Structure 1
Amino acid sequence: MGNIDLNCDLGEGFEAHEKKRDEDVLQYVTSANIACGFHAGDAGTMQTTVRLAKERNVAIGAHPGLPDFEGFGRREMHITPERAYALTIYQTGALQAFAEAAGTRIRHVKPHGALYTMAAKDPELARAIAEAVWDVKGDMLLYGLAGSELIKAGEKVGLNVVSEVFADRVYQADGTLKSRQEHGAVITDRAQAMEQVRDMVLHKKVKTIAGTYIDIEADSICVHGDNEEAVHFARSIREFLMRENIALKSP
């Protein structure tokens, strides 16, 4: 019945239990989006996470974010397209160096947090990020919210794009994600998350906060590594896909 990617945002923690969660999640996912030191992570964490992903044959991607450690990159801030371009190149280049030092390579780029959601709606920011990825290496993939401006921008500059959906986030009627600043934006119930995954993968639809359904394209399913249920979600999604004879494969 085809194949799909399962990705997770990793390398975002400093505590021992968070690093252990990253290791556990890597057993189940096919792609890892690794924080590049601006919203989370540091040199040692980047190096370790790249090594762990390589050992488990998980595709490695850069996860550039806004320079906002305190807010974990999830607070919107005004930046120009030129700044977005520079931030993307700087962080992607840093992770690229760690990947090359480990004898591997970066396969994709996926913006983090507020940078991701801003680029989903702002064509100019989306264009700047897409051009940055193209200028670093045109054969890298660009991950973006399904149906978003980032996907459109990636296609326009000639990148191969990956339409991403979320197992653990609530959708709004326009296809965007409910803001994390609002209560109930994150799904923590495993049954609810799995129901959402079934709808998106099998029926190409997702239920919105308004109770309506909208069409959605799912090339990759994301589980957030900082979600306490991340390991359980990743394992349950993998088991579900296997039951449905859907192969798990990085793009």
Structure 2
Amino acid sequence: MQIDLNADLGEGCTTDEALLDLISSANIACGWHAGGANEILNCTRWARQKGTAIGAHPSFNDRENFGRTEHRLSAEEIHAALLYQLGALSAIVRAQGACVTHVKPHGALYNQAAREPAVAQAISAAIRDFDPKLAIFGLANSALITAAQQAGLKAVEEVFADRAYRADGSLVPRGTPGAVLEDEDEVLARTLKMVREQRVQAIDGHWVTLKVQTICLHGDNPHALAFARRIRAQFDAEGIQVRSTVTTP
């Protein structure tokens, strides 16, 4: 058995380099919600040294709210926003002798794409136009997965180790009690169940069936490094290989 373990990096946290020792795919912020050129450069250098797949983590232009405020943009505006951010990150990555392998939207852009087909289609079209070889990481069972597949892109279904779920398979909104998990034992147990059984227990007790291809840890979660160490140690103990779903040249 194998699984991809990814983390959102380049967001100004101090654990990025250490997390890259434990994960197989990195989603690097493109500067609109956090980070910038120096963070992209550092994360790319570390990821290349460790053989970690490098992905773009684009967002709405919303640094003041860390990209977590919803915006109503046209398909054309979303298309331009994605191309702008992918171009900036890709230039730095290529200058380091590496390449971008995947795209994972951030925050509100990710959540809107999960439930709004028009947003999902605009994102998928932009990625296809930029580089049709790029994969899209999206919430399992979501509109973004469907749109990516319809656009002829590789769609990678993602679950979250440190977030609570609702019965419809969506994430419990941040700010709701219990939305962000902080207990190491709980996160480890949930992660193992998702990998072994392809399901997760929602906040109301219902079980949600998921296709688990990649597991995300939020790099800005203060427990991210501890979670990653516990999860990776248990995977290693059980013979579960941690390997990216995308090819790193």
Which one of the candidate residues 79, 101, 104 is aligned to 1:85?
79
Which one of the candidate residues 89, 92, 103 is aligned to 1:98?
92
Residue 243 of structure 1 and its aligned partner are, at CA, apart by 2.3
Which residue matches 2:10? 11
Paired residue type of 1:177: L
Paired residue type of 1:3: Q
Q: Structure 2 regions of 5+ residues with no counterpart? A: none
Cα distance in structure 1, aligned partners of 2:2 and 2:186:
23
Q: Residues 14-37 of structure 1: CA distance to partner in whole angstroms, max 9, x if unpaired? A: xxxx23x11111110001000001
Cα distance in structure 2, aligned partners of 1:75 and 1:165:
21
Which one of the candidate residues 36, 42, 49 is aligned to 1:48?
42
Residue 195 of structure 1 and its aligned partner are, at CA, apart by 1.4
Paired residue type of 1:150: L
Instruction: Verify: 1:26 aligned to 2:20, yes or no.
Output: yes
Residue 42 of structure 1 and its aligned partner are, at CA, apart by 1.2
Q: TM-score, normalised by structure 1?
A: 0.95
RMSD: 0.9
Larger mean CA deviation between 181-190 and 55-64 belongs to 181-190
Which residue matches 2:167? 173
Residue 183 of structure 1 and its aligned partner are, at CA, apart by 2.6
Q: Residues 161-209 of structure 1: CA distance to partner in whole angstroms, max 9, x if unpaired? A: 1100000000001000011132321001111111111111001110001
Cα distance in structure 2, aligned partners of 1:192 and 1:33:
24
Residue 214 of structure 1 and its aligned partner are, at CA, apart by 1.0
Q: Residues 72-93 of structure 1: CA distance to partner in whole angstroms, max 9, x if unpaired? A: 0011121122211111111111
Which 4+ stretches in 1 moved above 4 angstroms? none
Residue 218 of structure 1 and its aligned partner are, at CA, apart by 0.6
Cα distance in structure 2, aligned partners of 1:81 and 1:3:
36
Tell me the secondary structure at the aligned position of residue 4 of structure 1.
strand
Paired residue type of 1:214: V
Q: Structure 1 regions of 5+ residues with no counterpart? A: none
Q: How many residues align?
A: 245
Tell me the secondary structure at the aligned position of residue 64 of structure 2.
coil
Which residue matches 2:109? 115
Cα distance in structure 2, aligned partners of 1:229 and 1:159:
33
Cα distance in structure 1, aligned partners of 2:243 and 2:215:
11
- State the identity as a percent: 45
Cα distance in structure 1, aligned partners of 2:177 and 2:45:
36
Which residue matches 2:200? 206
Instruction: Verify: 1:146 aligned to 2:140, yes or no.
Output: yes
Cα distance in structure 2, aligned partners of 1:3 and 1:228:
26
Cα distance in structure 1, aligned partners of 2:75 and 2:234:
40
Q: TM-score, normalised by structure 2?
A: 0.96
Cα distance in structure 2, aligned partners of 1:197 and 1:178:
17
Tell me the secondary structure at the aligned position of residue 171 of structure 1.
coil
Instruction: Verify: 1:164 aligned to 2:158, yes or no.
Output: yes
Tell me the secondary structure at the aligned position of residue 41 of structure 2.
helix
Paired residue type of 1:89: L
Q: Residues 37-85 of structure 1: CA distance to partner in whole angstroms, max 9, x if unpaired? A: 1000111111111111111111000000011111000111211222111
